[in-house]
Amino acid sequence: MTPRRGLTSKDIVNSAAKIANQNGLSYVSISVVAQDLDIKPPSLYNHIRGLDELHELLAIHSCLLLYQKLHLATHNQSNREALTSFSYAYIDFARAYPGQYEAATHSYDEHHAQLKELQDQIINLVRTPLYELGFEEEYTVHLVRMLRSLLHGFVMLESAQGFKMDYQINDSLDVMIETFLIGIQRFEK
């Protein structure tokens, strides 16, 4: 009964992001976002097509943020430094914005070309320095996959509390990245 003008789709995505980061992506629902914005659930449909689109918008927004952080971290670095910086920035992002990390990496059945494009751009930030280290194109593909697996797996297991905290978790991260870099030296041209 009180139409207001201020509410933009940016507000909606921000609310979704807040909820996702606080409680997990699965808590992002029409009803919870509506409650957070102080409107009734059906009112959201004036702005978005439905829950699927809400998740999609959050995914795009989160990919953009992730790209921005990773670009900043790898900008103007040597190839080897770029790999390290990328890795730590990637983990930092997942820790700082866990729900948005989930959204950015979740697989969407019918994701836009836009979302695919964004995810490709993120990967290219690490493909370029690897390629320039002198690996063959095919090996570069494998090593990109390895680094992605390593980082994504680390995030998943850490967020699932899959590691006991006996030994410092950050030391494990250091060892992982160091071991990866040592392991690939062998294949450098």
Q: Give residues in contact with its own copies (CB under 8 A).
A: 105-107, 119, 138-139, 141-143, 145-146, 148-154, 156-157, 159-163, 166-167, 171-172, 175-176, 179-180, 182-184, 186-187
Candidates 98, 132, 106; CA nearest to 54 is 106
Least distance (Å) between residue 35 CB and its own copies: 22
Q: Which does 64 bind (CB under 5 to 8 A by kind): DNA, its own copies, none?
A: none
- Residue 41 Cβ, how far from its own copies at the closest point, in Å? 22
Q: Which is nearer to DNA, 2 or 76 (CB)?
A: 2
Tell me if 53 sits within 8 A of 105, measured CB to CB.
Answer: no
Chain residues binding DNA by CB under 7 A are 1-5, 7, 29-32, 39-43, 45-47, 50-52
- Round to whole Å and give the CA distance between 176 and 36: 40
DSSP single-letter state for residue 5:
S
No. of H helices and E strands in the chain?
8, 0
Cβ of residue 178: shortest distance to its own copies, in angstroms? 8
Q: Write the single-letter amino acid at 20.
A: A
Max CA-CA distance within the chain?
69
Task: Name which of 38 and 138 has its Cβ closer to DNA.
Answer: 38
